[in-house]
Amino acid sequence: MTRLNQIVAAGLIGSAAAFAASADVITVDFQQPALDRWVYPFASNPGREVVAPTFGAILQPGFDDRDGQFLVGFDTASQVTPGLDPSAYLVVSARVKVVVSSDQQFRYDPSFDPVSTLFAEDDPSWTPDADTGKPVELFGVGYRNGWTVDTFLETSPFGGVPIVPPAEGARNVFPAMFDGAGVASDISRQVREGFDWQPMAIGRIDGLATGELVPAATEMEFVVDLCQPTVREYFQRALQGGKLRLMISSLSPAQGGPSGGTGDPTYPAFFTKENPTALINGWTAKLELVVMTGQLADRTGDGIVDFTDYLDFLNAYDSADPSADYNGDCIVDFADYLEFLNWYNS
């Protein structure tokens, strides 16, 4: 035990009283979303499309760079108690799975690509792409024009009037980047605005090599990077409200038009829950979460917070065990020590 730990422990031995409390470890497994929606200005039957193509209209006036997008939503209140303080949700892991509906249409790219790879080659800021294809990426969701997570439904309007042209930055729901206060900014036009933003996750496919064509009925998995503070906070706020909304997007280029891109398509598409074949085969979007809630200082799970829990944390802290990462930033440091003490004394 370090000298600092000895001092803190000595102060707690005499003052800590055992009290009834418990930390709940909840495993969430949604086999189907509460809503999904192809977010595209020319979608003829919003919220009822059987597939959701994801593609970019790169640098095309009147269109967002991230043009065809796939919104998936899960209502978590039935499995994770809503309404707690956001800090009371410790998200241990999060995975989203979708199934590819297009056959041999796009090449697998599991790596992050800077937007500069999509600049014109005569642009001095252009950089060559190190591999074939563009990744499929997962983002949190923001809203505009008065819409919110509670009011935007599968069949809600795409955006304002007129939709196109031009309709850049006009969609009511969009893939977002978030600041420290949780304020959302639309990243749909990031190529022409020239900035990079790390997604929550990049779609990965087991058994497939980079550059290979992706067969239909292939499952793509997104393992969410909860080490990013804004990602962790997004999930905490979503669980607090009981509604988790996520956007799947790709900058795989396509030419614009009502058909979702002219010429031979080279972009990914995914089954929605409105697709009868997807329902029969279980090919709808899925969510897996492991979340700790309640009194997070009850490390032994006996319903009592006492000095045994403190010693258990102390051992984990001294060995940099991930279970001592109480602020979820993937680093075990003094900030976690203070966070645990807040829970211990609450």
Residues 36 and 15 grouped into a single domain: no
pTM beyond cutoff 0.85: yes
Name the DSSP letter for residue 212.
P
- Give me the pLDDT at residue 283, please: 98
- Give me the pLDDT at residue 259, please: 42
pLDDT at 218 over 60: yes
Strands 201-202 and 136-143: antiparallel
* Measured CA distances, 276 to 51, 69, 250 (Å): 11, 21, 25
Average pLDDT over residues 47-69: 94
Residues 9 and 118 grouped into a single domain: no
Residues 42 and 14 grouped into a single domain: no
Region for 217 from its dihedrals, namely left if φ exceeds 0, alpha if ψ lies in -120 to 50, beta otherwise: left
| The length of the chain, given as a count of residues | 346
> Is 36 within the bounds of a domain?
yes
- Give me the pLDDT at residue 165, please: 65
Residues 44 and 144 grouped into a single domain: yes
- Give me the pLDDT at residue 263, please: 54
Structural domain tally of the chain? 2
Residues 17 and 134 grouped into a single domain: no
In degrees and rounded to multiples of 5, residue 308 shows phi and psi of -60, -40
In degrees and rounded to multiples of 5, residue 310 shows phi and psi of -65, -45
Tokens describing residue 104 = 């041999």
> Is 147 within the bounds of a domain?
yes
Range of the structural domain that residue 118 is part of: 26-291
Residues 32 and 8 grouped into a single domain: no
- Give me the pLDDT at residue 167, please: 78
Residues 225 and 319 grouped into a single domain: no
Residue-wise pLDDT tens digits, 122-180: 999 999 999 999 999 999 999 999 999 999 999 999 997 766 666 789 999 999 999 98
Residue-wise pLDDT tens digits, 79-92: 999 999 998 999 99
pLDDT at 78 over 50: yes
- Give me the pLDDT at residue 260, please: 46
> Is 302 within the bounds of a domain?
no
Residues 169 and 287 grouped into a single domain: yes
Quote the CA–CA distance of 305 and 300 in Å, as a whole number.
8
Residues 279 and 322 grouped into a single domain: no
